[in-house]
Amino acid sequence: MVNKIYGLIGHPLGHSFSQSFFNEKFAKEGIDAEYKNFDLEDISNIKDILNNPQIYGLNVTIPYKQQVFPFLSQIGTVAKKIGAVNVIRFKKTNNGLETIGYNTDMIGFYKSISPLLNENHKHALILGTGGASKAVKYALDKLGIDYKFVSRTKSNDVYTYEDLNEQILKDYTVIVNTTPLGMHPNIDNCPNIPYEFISPNHVCFDLVYNPLETKFLRLAKEQGAYIKNGLEMLHIQAIETWKIWNS
C-alpha cells in the first residue's frame, strides 16, 4: 500500500495525461506515492477526498477551478487574483489540516506562449470565460497584451462568436482557446469562429492537449497560423505543482 496519494479532481477526466505523468515521475524518482483520477459528478463530493488522510495534494480541472473555493482553508495570492484554483496543497499543522489553493496554469501558459510572440502580437482573443480563461487573462496582462473575451453569451466588453468578423480577426492576432471544445473524445468539435480570416500573422494556442492537434489548431494551421497545443503548458504547470506540494 502506498504511503501518499495525489490526484486530479474534475469531470470528465478521460482526456487527462496527469495521471501517467506523475506516476511515471514517482516511479523514476523512487517516490512512494500514487496519482489517481477522482472523477466527481458533483463538487460537494470533494469533502470525502479532503478528509482522506492519505491525500497529500490535488490538481483541479474543468469544471471545478472556481467551484472549489468554498471548500479550501486558504487561497494563494495569485490564485485569488486570477479567480481560479488548479492546485491544492495539503498542509498538516498542529491545529489540523489546512488546504491551500494555488494556480499554476498562469505560469504554464505564460512560459509556453512567450517565445511565440513578436511586436505584431498586441491584441488577443480569449475563447471561453471559465476558470482557465482567467489564468490566460492574468498572463496576458503580464505580457502587456490587450485582450477580449469571446463568449456564447452577450455581456459588456465581451464579444460573442457571432460578433467576430474579418476586421476583428485582423486586429486580434493571438487567439487562445480555453474551452474544452475539441477535447478527446469529441475531436470533431471546435470553437465557432471565422477561420477564413486567420492569417500567417496569427498565433493560435489551444489549452487542450488531447488530441495534440485539435480541429481548432488544424483549421488555423491551414490558414498559415503558427499553432501550439497545451502539452508544454501542462508539463510546466506540473513541475510548478510538484514544487508547491513539496514546499
Instruction: Report the catalytic residues.
Output: 65
Single-letter amino acid code for the residue at 59 = N
Cα(147)–Cα(153) distance, rounded to whole angstroms?
17
Chain mean position to CA 102 = 13
Q: What crossing angle do the helices spanning 105-113 and 131-143 adopt, rounded to 10°?
A: 50
Answer yes or no: are the C-beta atoms of 131 and 65 closer than 8 Å.
yes
- Residue 243 C-alpha cell reads as 514544487
Beta-sheet strand order (sheet of 146-151): 158-160, 146-151, 123-127, 174-177, 203-206, 226-228
H-helix or E-strand spanning residue 152: none
* Residue-by-residue DSSP string for 178-220: -S-TT-TT-TT------GGG--TT-EEEES--SSSS-HHHHHH
* Residue-by-residue DSSP string for 67-124: TTGGG-SEE-HHHHHHT---EEEEEEETTEEEEEEE--HHHHHHHHHGGG--TT--EE
Strand partners, 90: 99
